[in-house]
Structure 1
Amino acid sequence: MRATQSESAIADKEALQPVLEGLEIEVLAIEQTDRWSIYHRLQELGIPCNCAIAQPLEARIDSPTAALQLWSIAHRYRASQNELRDFLEDCWQTRIRV
């Protein structure tokens, strides 16, 4: 028997619940201009978010992938140039085994 779309969504949420319970919500201090850039990038990725004038950016993170994407985007705006350079250098030197 094939699950309906709503049943699949419920099953996915139940499977993710133990993972998502371990996530902590963190308030990040982000410049207002960067906040709009982050908001637009989250929209491009299909992550539900809201960003109103003089209000904080809010994003609904309902999967580990969305959490990683949000971390990656926020890290890009919060990290120093040296941190970003070191991160990129580490990526170039990482060897992937298949």
Structure 2
Amino acid sequence: MMFAPSDRPGDPFHGNDNHSLPFLESQLSAPGPDENLKFQPLKVRVQVPPDLQWSVFYRLQELSIPCEYSSENGVGVEIEDRTTAIQLRCVLHRFIAPLSVQVNWLEHCFELEGN
């Protein structure tokens, strides 16, 4: 299973410059705060440019996220819960998102903090 790109215009994580960042929207958006909803663990292979694969793998290890790396297959990640999915999304955002998108996201965070 691979990540599907987001096509949500105006999303502060993606900006409006047609750059999208892969994420697990279907797994992260549960209908309501029902604690009985179970997260289905996933094993995924993330699509990362070859020159960034080691950096992504190393950062995931720092966060104690179960992952594997091989030069042939890239980075594989085991997503056990929603927190891990969000952490993975943040790591990918850090390494993959264009600078304009990262600036937009940071500005959005400051706007939320000011409210």
Tell me the TM-score normalised to structure 1 length.
0.68
Match of 1:43 among 61, 68, 73: 61
1:66 and 1:50 map into 2 onto residues whose CA distance is: 15
Per the alignment, residue 10 of structure 1 pairs with none
Structure 1: tracts of 5 or more residues without a match: 1-15
Q: Any idea what the Cα deviations from partners look like across 1:41-77, whole Å, max 9, x if unmatched?
A: 0000001110012222101110111110000111222
1:57 and 1:63 map into 2 onto residues whose CA distance is: 18
Q: What is the root-mean-square deviation of aligned Cα atoms in Å?
A: 2.7
Greater RCO structure (CA 8 Å; 6+ sep)? 2
Q: Say whether the 8 Å CA contact 1:19–1:64 is kept in structure 2.
A: no
Which has more radius of gyration? Answer: 1
Per the alignment, residue 81 of structure 1 pairs with 99
Map 1:28-67 onto structure 2 (within 5 A). Answer: 28-67=46-85
Give the share of equivalent positions with the same residue, in percent: 26
> In the superposition, relative to structure 1, how do residues 84 and 69 fare at CA in structure 2: closer, same or farther (>3 Å)?
same
Per the alignment, residue 90 of structure 1 pairs with 108
Instruction: Give the letter for the 2:48 counterpart.
Output: I
2:94 and 2:36 map into 1 onto residues whose CA distance is: 27
> In the superposition, relative to structure 1, how do residues 85 and 76 fare at CA in structure 2: closer, same or farther (>3 Å)?
same
Instruction: Give the letter for the 2:75 counterpart.
Output: L
Cα deviation, residue 19, structure 1: 4.0
Match of 1:72 among 85, 90, 96: 90
Per the alignment, residue 37 of structure 2 pairs with 18
Higher strand share: 2
Tell me the TM-score normalised to structure 2 length.
0.59
Structure 2: tracts of 5 or more residues without a match: 1-34
Q: How many residues align?
A: 81
